[in-house]
Amino acid sequence: MPAERPVEKLQSLRGLVDLLPAHTPLWQRVEATAREHFRRAQVDEIRTPLLEATELFARGIGEATDVVGKEMYTFTDRGDRSCTLRPEGTASVVRSAIQHGLLSQGPQRLWYGGPMFRYERPQAGRQRQFHQIGLELLGFADPRSDVEAIAIAWDLLAGLGVDGLALELNSLGSSDDRARYRQALVGWLEARSDQLDADSQARLVSNPLRILDSKNPGTQALLAGAPTLADALAPESRQRFEQVQAGLQALEIPFQLNPRLVRGLDYYSHTAFEITSSQLGAQATVCGGGRYDGLVGQLGGPDTPAIGWALGMERLVLLLGQIEGADHAARPPDLYVVNRGDAAEAAALVWARGLRQRGLAVDLDASGSAFGKQFKRADRSGAAWAAVLGDGELADGVVRLKPLRSDQNPEGDAGAGEQLVPLADLAAVIQLLA
């Protein structure tokens, strides 16, 4: 036996957050709305494991990114394999599509949702376990698919009642465009490297495009004069980008061009976008995405153009919480069962179960306390009706149904509106409550 120690208070790990019952109704509303929007757009759900071989993310996201370089939860399992808790969804979805030959069955319209893990500094809107909902359109090359993907995200957010959103748009061009731009940018920055912050100096070698994304104000000021990606786009890339913009205009989705927008992950090409809210402070991006034509090939699949996005649930829920002021109250039961006495309590359990099996939401008081106390709880539950089952009712083979809300009994008469129903007649209860 281990030596006796004082019992320490057990707590969740830093940055891993419990979702308490007061908050789950809002999450469920977001999830249901997302599901409905995906149904309308004919997008099917895919679920992949939370744990993957580390190599998937190293190859699929890139060693030079913050996500792979600094933020992954990686460990060796009992079989000596390096495993990683997924930091994002795209690499897993693509792995799965390749593994199961989905891509040979034609273009795939997929969505996923669930927890992601990144070892970051926790703050409002930034956690170590967080949740995303994401869309991946695999096998779609046309600029219209970029517009469609963005429209699905935009309409989903609008459908939830979030406003004050801004769509920022950029084109990262083809890999040739990026290689050309990278050279121009590195040349320009090397001549000014003494003015760069330490992080950006390191990125000059590892991942120079990410410097554009720097949060350092000095670096941002310096970058105002740097060459832009837009100048490096080949005519075909530029034309493609214009088609995407025209498509968004046709759908009346407003956007701003942001030549600094590069996205954190390495596999993006052409369209890159973010949807931001001014209500979120420093963690402003609710949804980010773009085209990743190179990824499927890079992970060993057939060359497949693709576009997708992921939205951050915590940030979205923060926004919705601000709009709605408070979390939704839990839905009240249809019926609150007040019951007391050994035989009556046993009968109440059977009766409540029968009603639940027929679809009613039934709150069964399990306290065995005095009727008065149970009635107080019945009132607080928000139920429209209380059902009373004591030994007297049981002896008569009935249940007494009492309306609880004043609108059912405006005169406030004691006993008004009460109904006796036979204990065995569940249909009568359902009819009465309908």
Give the interface with ligand ATP as residue ranges (CB under 6 A): 88, 118, 120, 125-127, 130, 132, 264, 283, 285-288, 310, 312, 314-315
Q: How many helices (H) and strands (E) does the chain have?
A: 16, 16
Find the shortest distance in angstroms from Cβ 374 to ligand ATP. 43
Q: In this complex, which beta carbon is closest to ligand ATP, that of residue 319 or of residue 387?
A: 319
Q: Is the dihedral of CA 104, 109, 114, 120 positive or negative?
A: positive
Which residue is closest to ligand ATP by CB? Answer: 312
Q: In this complex, which beta carbon is closest to ligand ATP, that of residue 201 or of residue 283?
A: 283
- The candidate with the shortest Cα–Cα distance to 48, out of 136, 120, 129, is 136
Query: Which long-range contacts (C-beta less than 8 Å, at least 24 apart) are formed by 369-377?
Result: 369/340, 370/340, 371/338, 371/340, 374/338, 374/339, 374/340, 375/338, 377/336
Angle at 179 between CA 176 and CA 182, to 5 degrees: 150
Q: In this complex, which beta carbon is closest to ligand ATP, that of residue 229 or of residue 287?
A: 287
Q: In this complex, which beta carbon is closest to ligand ATP, that of residue 275 or of residue 388?
A: 275
Q: In this complex, which beta carbon is closest to ligand ATP, that of residue 299 or of residue 313?
A: 313
Q: In this complex, which beta carbon is closest to ligand ATP, that of residue 60 or of residue 125?
A: 125
Radius of gyration of the chain (CA): 29
User: Exposed/middle/buried for 265, CB within 10 Å: 0-12, 13-18, 19+?
Assistant: buried
The C-alpha atoms of residue 322 and residue 310 are separated, in whole angstroms, by: 21
Find the shortest distance in angstroms from Cβ 118 to ligand ATP. 5
Find the shortest distance in angstroms from Cβ 223 to ligand ATP. 17
Furthest CA-CA distance within the chain: 95
Find the shortest distance in angstroms from Cβ 135 to ligand ATP. 12
Find the shortest distance in angstroms from Cβ 86 to ligand ATP. 11
User: Exposed/middle/buried for 342, CB within 10 Å: 0-12, 13-18, 19+?
Assistant: exposed
Strands 398-403 and 419-422: antiparallel
Q: Alpha carbon of 250 to those of 144, 145, 253, 325: distances in Å? A: 11, 14, 8, 34
Q: Would you say 362 and 383 are in contact if contact means Cβ atoms under 8 Å apart?
A: no
- The candidate with the shortest Cα–Cα distance to 131, out of 157, 146, 145, 112, is 112
Find the shortest distance in angstroms from Cβ 240 to ligand ATP. 22
The C-alpha atoms of residue 153 and residue 166 are separated, in whole angstroms, by: 12
Amino acid at 157: L
Find the shortest distance in angstroms from Cβ 176 to ligand ATP. 24
Find the shortest distance in angstroms from Cβ 266 to ligand ATP. 11
Find the shortest distance in angstroms from Cβ 314 to ligand ATP. 5
Q: In this complex, which beta carbon is closest to ligand ATP, that of residue 265 or of residue 347?
A: 265
Q: In this complex, which beta carbon is closest to ligand ATP, that of residue 309 or of residue 351?
A: 309
Residue length of the chain: 434
Q: In this complex, which beta carbon is closest to ligand ATP, that of residue 208 or of residue 289?
A: 289
Q: Is the dihedral of CA 174, 176, 182, 188 positive or negative?
A: negative
User: Exposed/middle/buried for 256, CB within 10 Å: 0-12, 13-18, 19+?
Assistant: exposed
Q: In this complex, which beta carbon is closest to ligand ATP, that of residue 161 or of residue 392?
A: 161
Find the shortest distance in angstroms from Cβ 201 to ligand ATP. 20
Find the shortest distance in angstroms from Cβ 127 to ligand ATP. 4
Q: In this complex, which beta carbon is closest to ligand ATP, that of residue 243 or of residue 285?
A: 285
As given in the structure block, the two tokens for residue 60 are 């699929």
